[in-house]
Amino acid sequence: MSVKHPDCPTLLSPWSIRGQELRNRVVFPPTCPTWVDNPWSGRFTDQAVAYYRERAAWGW
């Protein structure tokens, strides 16, 4: 998608973070600190993976 808004021209452009290529810069961060085993590593617990997998299935 190449739609650009003057206030956020790069919002929908690709982005690479920690070697992971994202299609755009719209992200959904962890909402519960207990869902990562270590906040600095960014590794999700199985509970978090299940939660985000379910959210993604609904297209949110």
Blockwise average pLDDT, block size 10, the chain, 60 residues: 72 88 80 75 84 78
For residue 26, the enclosing domain spans 15-57
In a domain, 3, yes or no: no
Q: Is residue 36 within 8 Å of 44, Cβ to Cβ?
A: yes
Q: What is the pLDDT of residue 27?
A: 78
Q: What is the pLDDT of residue 30?
A: 64
How far from 53 is each of 27, 46, 60, CA to CA, in Å? Answer: 14, 10, 10
In a domain, 27, yes or no: yes
Q: What is the pLDDT of residue 2?
A: 55
Number of folded domains that form the chain: 1
Give the whole-angstrom CA distance, residue 20 versus residue 49.
Answer: 17
Cβ atoms within 10 Å of 13's Cβ, excluding its own: 14
